[in-house]
């Protein structure tokens, strides 16, 4: 009887004890991608520090002329200034990545400050009509354990580069930029250039040289997302599928103008 009583007391104690909280799930730091191993002749082009009303549309036009796509890592405060450029990028089938709200260096700052700048950049993109970004580019490539952990919690993949054009340097020439790209180009590599906010004429001229030259060598210039989806990396991380193209509104039917037949057939000016 005493043994039975002791067992009952022990069982009652176990049942009445508060349940232990489940251990927290392990959050992995955000991975960093500089290039993607592959044999396909794909190369990703990226443009930082936009959007810029002067240069970003010119980059997009050059990409379209050469059947190319790219990823634009935009700064949130510039997105707020030029939200229409984000919509233009989306309509052109370009990919938009996060470069922070204020281009803040994510090293030796508190986790809360990291999260504020990263989420602020993403919120600006979404508010301007862009898709929620899942790719992040570190300003100046600076990070530490804290920032990588925060970016991992936010489900980002950090995109670095393997072809550094250094087009931001004062005095850099289009010929030098183009030479770097053509020398270092290889399947799966990621090229970094800039479309804002400073003077980018050298970059514009270099793009017009390297895009047709790479296409002539059999390369296809793609966004980072397409590069990742064309590799095994997509199976390792939650890479979103390619977004559907934005549907164009149906063209309005023209109606005869009551003030004369010439005005009824004259094409309207599109602003």
- Catalytic: which of 184, 194, 195, 199? 194
Which residues touch 34 (CB under 8 Å, ≥6 apart)? 160, 161, 162, 190
What would the two tokens of residue 260 be?
A: 């004369």
Q: Say which of 48, 117, 167, 195 is annotated catalytic.
A: 48
User: Which pair of tokens denotes residue 145?
Assistant: 């354990």
8 A C-beta contact, residue 170 and residue 144:
no
At a CB cut-off of 8 Å and minimum separation 6, what does 145 contact? 29
Whether 124 contacts 79, CB under 8 Å: yes
Name the token pair of 222: 């793609």
Establish whether 194 is a catalytic residue: yes
Residue 156: name the closest of 129, 141, 138 by CA.
138
Are the C-beta atoms of 209 and 203 separated by less than 8 Å? no
Q: How many CA atoms lie within 13 A of 159 on its CB side?
A: 32
Helix%, strand%, coil% for the chain, nearest 5: 40, 15, 45
β-pairing, 163-164 vs 95-98, is unpaired
CA–CA dist 97, 44 (Å, integer): 13
Catalytic residues: 48, 194
């Amino acid at each position: 009887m005493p043994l039975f009583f002791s067992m009952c007391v022990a069982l009652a104690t176990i049942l009445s004890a508060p349940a232990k909280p489940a251990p927290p799930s392990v959050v992995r730091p955000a991975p960093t991608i500089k290039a993607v191993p592959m044999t396909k002749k794909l190369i990703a082009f990226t443009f930082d520090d936009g959007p810029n009303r002067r240069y970003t549309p010119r980059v997009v036009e050059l990409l379209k002329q050469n059947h190319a796509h790219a990823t634009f890592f935009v700064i949130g405060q510039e997105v707020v200034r030029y939200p229409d450029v984000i919509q233009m990028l989306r309509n052109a089938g370009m990919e938009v990545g996060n470069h922070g709200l204020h281009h803040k260096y994510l090293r030796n700052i508190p986790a809360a400050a990291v999260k504020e700048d990263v989420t602020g950049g993403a919120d600006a993109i979404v508010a301007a009509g862009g898709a929620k970004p899942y790719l992040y580019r570190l300003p100046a490539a600076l990070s530490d354990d804290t920032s990588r952990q925060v970016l991992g919690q936010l489900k980002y993949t950090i995109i670095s580069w393997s072809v550094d054009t250094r087009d931001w340097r004062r005095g850099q020439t289009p010929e030098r930029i183009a030479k770097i790209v053509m020398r270092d180009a290889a399947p799966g590599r990621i090229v970094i250039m800039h479309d804002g906010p400073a003077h980018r004429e050298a970059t514009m001229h270099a793009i017009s040289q390297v895009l047709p030259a790479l296409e002539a060598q059999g390369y296809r210039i793609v966004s980072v997302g397409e590069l990742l989806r064309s590799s095994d990396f997509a199976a390792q991380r939650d890479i979103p599928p390619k977004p559907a193209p934005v549907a164009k509104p149906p063209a309005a039917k023209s109606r005869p103008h009551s003030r004369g037949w010439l005005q009824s057939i004259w094409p309207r000016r599109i602003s």
